[in-house]
A and B are shown apart, each in its own frame.
Chain A
Amino acid sequence: MNKKVIIGLVIIAIFFAVGFFAFLDSKVEYANFQKASETHKTCQVKGSWIKEKESKFDAKTNQFTFYMKDENGQEMKVVLDGAKPNNFEMAENVVAKGKIKDGHFHAKEVLTKCPSKYEGTGEDIKRN
């Protein structure tokens, strides 16, 4: 084998090793609140916003607090770093990314999922 190929292979091997470890570090798993409270890693919980319970934005800490129910029906307080996300009210589902801290879910990011709202339903058309 010539030198070029060997150098190339070494570089590729290093690249894959680095990539693999970086990947393990930044992988975020889907979880429910139960699972999230067991691990201390960042994870992603899908659920729905409990509209009946209080939700508020605290201007001093710049945090938005709301209550969320995961897919198993477990409820938890979620504190998001930032304002209420766009389209929060019309979201069918929300996905919170973060970890459990001091008895609540501390989210760095909350995604809102409202696919069906982008398309009208039979109910919508009857209103016309």
Chain B
Amino acid sequence: MGNLLLNIAFASALLASICYFISNGGREKFIRYGRTFYHIAAVLVISSAAYLLYLIITHQFQVTYVWNYSSRDLPWNLLISTFYAGQEGSFHLWAFMTAVLGVFLLSYLANRDAEIKSSNFKEKYEPLVMGLYSLILSFLAFIMVIKSPYLMVWESFPSDVSIGFIPEDGRGLNPLLQNFWMTIHPPILFSGFTALAVPFCFAITALIKNEYSRWMKLGLPWTLFGGMILGLGIMLGGYWAYGVLGWGGYWGWDPVENSSFVPWIVIVAAIHTMVSEERTGKFKKTSLILCITAYLLVLYSTFLTRSGVLGDASVHSFVDPGQEVYLFLIVFLSLFGGGGIGLVLFRLKSLRTAKSEQQSQLLSRESALFVGAITLCAAALVIAVGTSWPIIAKGTVEPEFYNRMNLPLAILIASINGFSMLLKWRYSEEKQFLKSLYIPLGFTALVTIVLVIIGVRDFIIALLAAAAFFALFINLEIAYRIFIKDKVKAGPYIAHMGLMILFLGIIGSARYSEEVNVSLPLNETKQALGYNMTYKGATPIKGDEEKFHFNVVVEKEGRGFLLQPVMYYSEYSEGVMKNPDIANLVTKDLYLSPMALETPQDISSSDMAALKRGEEKEIHGMKVKFIDFDRSKFDRDAMQEGKDNIMGAELEVTTDGKTQKVVVEQKITSAGTENIPSKISAYDKYTFYLLNMSIAGESAIEIAVVDESMPRTETPETLVLTASIKPFINLVWGGTIIMVLGFFASLLRRYRLIKSGKSSAAVNDENSSKHSKNGRPKKKSHLQEQE
């Protein structure tokens, strides 16, 4: 049934696309067909998602996907998130988001087109935009047709299980994914990916129509939406990595992180050139190219992270999706890429800016925005090249590369942002501009001097901090003035402030973090990073008895608190999983990342020795030589049946000139190994144990020679931690939230303007002409310009 839904969804999305393209020729009724088919496709994709979710919730383990990623013991929120734990499901999530967003896009376009009074079909945007968008949906549906999440276990493993086989339970969800962030990060990120399809469709439509005034006004709110949601999704991923996965930081320049970050940078650059274009009519080409590139980069990122080409370069594990999907992704990418670039080249002539408008002053807002956009693209390029390097050549790039390259670019971005706010559109008077710089520069100098005194001694870091404070101050001043009049109009300035706060947070938490390793013996207080830390033992977590809290009491100047990093053995991963715990102390985070738990050992390391065959070593004054393995009690058949077995190793022990032979043995059972004590008759003070052996390759053993009469020096249980201080990391999260709010305010304002049928430029032109008539003071019109 699921496959049927997907197949029909694919077909109707394709039909919707075709109908829309036909309708563009002027046949009105095909628009209605297009709409109907699109809605059918959307409903089917949504139903298929609901059906898959139903299969997961009702534990239909005969479906391979359900069996592979979920199990009966998962709580409901994680059960839902297993929907996108695998390849097939995450493609489905993407298609689902695309289908839903398209419904809103369709009604938005239909309303906008209905507002146009002329019946000229050429001006309608719905046919082409929706035609392209439906095509994208059909492509995503097609991926699911070839890589279906609805395969039954007997179809996946025909030689292993018979038709109708229903597994008792599923394999479960990877413990790394078992947390709250898994439930919200992927859907938001995929919404961002989906949203970038809209500006792409608008840009392509404009190129096909060869008409470049409306696309940008209609597309801008969607571009803002894409920037907002993708930015949020990326940072949620960062928080997940920091707070739960214990990577120690929120950003590691990993290919998966980079490949969603690059489209975001490009779409942010596009927002800025679109705003300039709206005001001045310049940068048409740039806006179009950026909007197209952003979505191509989304597709490219999918290709990079899904095709397995980056297999060895990332901490994220990649599954090879199979040849068909790999090929199809290439087709998808090259079709849209080739089409987009081809169209830009084809329209190059008509995209030239008219001569009269070409002369833009260096000291103008649009020039500054353009340079800013170029700088953003440079950052995107650096990251894209670094990320793609494993495909170009055999090798990867160190994270340090990104830091070094992006630091100067960030300084440029912050300063350009500050300057541009003081510049007017089209033309600024040099004197006036310089004058307006006095206060912000004075403030910046003051703050920077304070920072240097406090301890910021790194020149380039101080420069970035100065640039960020400069831009923050200017944006704050403008935002405040606008905010008291009209809250939503302050959107861009709020977003800029958020970014600058984020920059400051990055400086603090990345450049000035301190890290130290601590070993905490049970109940013994140790000092680290100025804190007294005491390990108080482990307690099982309520409701999840297999996991343990490792209780660490942290105390400083009489104030104490409890931190509980987590470690547990995961059967799924066959290893120990570790989660950090964080104390958020307003100006900094104290981050405790568990490394290991040292348990008291029976045998101290001075009693142990590793021997190769024929090798002789001295232990406790005795010469011990490893002769060979003793297989006399070993039975291969018994071992294959899983029965107990004994392996031995023959040793030659020389004490006081006497040489004796002894066989040390290890019992191998299905539960593990057991060391059998052996003694030599002449010298029975010592007991010999066989601890380990390596039969494959070079024969080697590990033995222990223990004096049982000696009192054991008990080492207490010791918790090993990496403790670190992350100064001002709250600014990273706070800055992100402020930036997202800024995006949201801008989006709201743009949407309202479009609904009221006016572009912001028109509104502003109206106002400024009114003011000049009234002979208002210059200061006021300056403010208007800034909006």
Q: How far is the CB of B719 from chain A (nearest CB, A)?
A: 9
- Among the listed A26, A82, A119, A120, which residue makes an inter-chain contact with B595, where contact means beta carbons less than 8 Å apart? A82
Interface residue SS majority, chain A: mixed
Q: Are A115 and B319 in contact (CB under 8 A)?
A: yes
A125 at the interface (CB under 8 A from B): yes
> Which of the listed residues A23, A57, A90, A93 has the most CB atoms from chain B within 10 Å of its own CB?
A23
Query: Are A54 and B405 also in contact (CB < 8 A) when A44-B312, A118-B317 are?
Result: no
Question: A44 — which chain B residues lie within 8 A by C-beta?
Answer: 312, 395-396
Inter-subunit contact B575/A87 (CB<8 Å): yes
- Complex contacts, B720 vs chain A, CB 8 Å: 57, 59, 62, 83
Please tell me which stretch of B114-122, B168-176, B679-687 contacts chain A, meaning at least 4 of its Cβ atoms lie within 8 angstroms of it: B168-176
Q: 0/1 per residue, B383-418, Cβ < 8 Å to A?
A: 001100100011111101100110010000000000
Q: CB distance B595 to A126 under 8 Å?
A: no
Q: Which single residue of chain B is at the shortest CB-CB distance from A95?
A: B312
Q: Are A90's CB and B595's CB within 8 A?
A: no
How far does the alpha carbon of A126 sit from the alpha carbon of B404 in the complex, in Å? 52
What residues of chain A lie closer than 8 Å to B578, measured between beta carbons? 83, 86
Is A48 in the interface zone, CB < 8 Å from B?
A: no
Report A104 CB to chain B, min CB distance, Å. Answer: 15
Residues on the B chain within 8 Å of A26, using CB: 397-398, 400-401, 404
Q: Which residues of B contact A122 (CB under 8 A)?
A: 157, 159-161
Given known A22-B401, A84-B596, A89-B575, contact A118–B167 (CB-CB < 8 A): no
Contact at A111–B315, with CB atoms within 8 Å? yes
Q: Once the chains bind, are A120 and B320 in contact (CB under 8 Å)?
A: no
Chain A residue at minimum C-beta to C-beta distance from B167 = A128
Given known A22-B404, A44-B395, A62-B595, contact A115–B317 (CB-CB < 8 A): yes
Output the nearest chain B residue to A127 by Cβ-Cβ distance: B167
Contacts of A126 in B (CB 8 A): 160-161
- Residue B781 lies at the interface, judged by CB distance under 8 Å to chain A: no
Q: How far is the CB of B245 from chain A (nearest CB, A)?
A: 8
Closest Cβ–Cβ distance, residue B552 to chain A (whole Å): 15
Which A residues touch B517, using CB under 8 A?
62
How distant is the Cα of A109 from the Cα of B367 in the complex, in angstroms?
44
> B598 at the A/B interface (Cβ < 8 Å)?
yes
Q: Within 8 Å of chain A (Cβ to Cβ): is B484?
A: no
A102 within 8 A of B: no
- Given A111-B312, A128-B169, the answer on whether A119 and B68 have CB atoms closer than 8 Å is yes
B575/A54 in contact, CB under 8 A: no
Q: Which residue of B lies closest to A30 (CB)?
A: B394
- The distance in angstroms between the C-alpha atoms of A56 and B695, with both chains bound, is 20
Interface set, chain A 54-102, CB cutoff 8 A to B: 54, 57, 59-60, 62, 75, 82-84, 86-90, 93, 95, 97
**Beta-carbon contact of A115 and B311 below 8 Å:** yes
CB–CB A28/B396 < 8 A: yes
Q: How many whole Å from A55's CB to the nearest CB in chain B?
A: 11
A82–B176 CA distance with the chains assembled, in angstroms: 19
- The yes or no answer to B378 lying at the interface (CB within 8 A) is yes
Interface residue B314 (Cβ < 8 Å from any Cβ of A): yes
B577 CB-CB contact with A under 8 Å = yes
* A22/B405 contact (C-beta < 8 A), A42-B398, A62-B517 known: yes
Q: Let me know if A124 is at the binding interface, CB within 8 A.
A: yes
Chain B residue numbers with a CB within 8 Å of A27 are: 389, 395-398, 401
Task: Report the bound CA distance from A56 to B413 in whole Å.
Answer: 47
Q: Judging by beta carbons under 8 Å apart, are B319 and A90 in contact?
A: no
Chain B residues with CB under 8 A of A90: 573-575
Is there contact, CB below 8 Å, between A57 and B394?
Answer: no
User: How far, in whole Å, are A90 and B694 apart by their CA atoms in the complex?
Assistant: 20
Contact between chains at A30 and B395 (CB < 8 Å): yes
Nearest residue, chain A, Cβ from B158: A122
A54 engages B702 (CB within 8 Å):
yes
Q: Are A125 and B167 in contact (CB under 8 A)?
A: yes
In the complex the two chains form, what is the Cα distance from A118 to B320 in whole Å?
11
Which residues from A are CB-within-8-Å of B700? 53
A98 to chain B, nearest CB (A): 11
B576 interfacial contact with A, CB 8 Å: yes
Q: Which residues of chain A come closer than 8 Å to B389, judged between CB atoms?
A: 27
In this complex, what residue of A is CB-closest to B154?
A125
Report A-chain residues with C-beta under 8 Å of the C-beta of B695. Answer: 52
Residue from B165, B400, B610 in contact with A54 in the complex, judged by beta carbons closer than 8 Å: B610
Q: Is B335 on the interface with A (CB-CB < 8 A)?
A: no
Contacts of A59 in B (CB 8 A): 519, 595-596, 598, 718, 720
Residues in A whose Cβ lies below 8 Å from that of B573:
86-87, 89-90
In the bound complex, do residue B312 and residue A53 qualify as a contact, i.e. CB atoms below 8 Å apart?
A: no
- Chain B 589-603 interface mask (CB, 8 Å, partner A; 1/0): 000000110100000
Residues on the B chain within 8 Å of A29, using CB: 393-395
Task: Give A22 to B403 CA distance when docked, in angstroms.
Answer: 10
Residues of A within 8 A of B577 (CB): 86
Set A19, A83, A86, A111: member contacting B314, Cβ < 8 A: A111
- Listed A/B pairs (14) with beta-carbon separation below 8 Å: A4-B362, A27-B395, A27-B398, A54-B702, A59-B720, A83-B595, A86-B573, A90-B573, A115-B311, A115-B320, A118-B319, A125-B165, A128-B167, A128-B168
| A contacts, CB < 8 Å to B | 3-4, 8, 15, 18-19, 22-23, 25-30, 42, 44, 46, 52-54, 57, 59-60, 62, 75, 82-84, 86-90, 93, 95, 97, 111-115, 118-126, 128
- Given A115-B308, A120-B67, A122-B157, 11 other A-B contacts at CB below 8 A? A18-B405, A18-B408, A59-B720, A86-B577, A90-B573, A112-B317, A113-B312, A113-B317, A118-B174, A128-B168, A128-B169
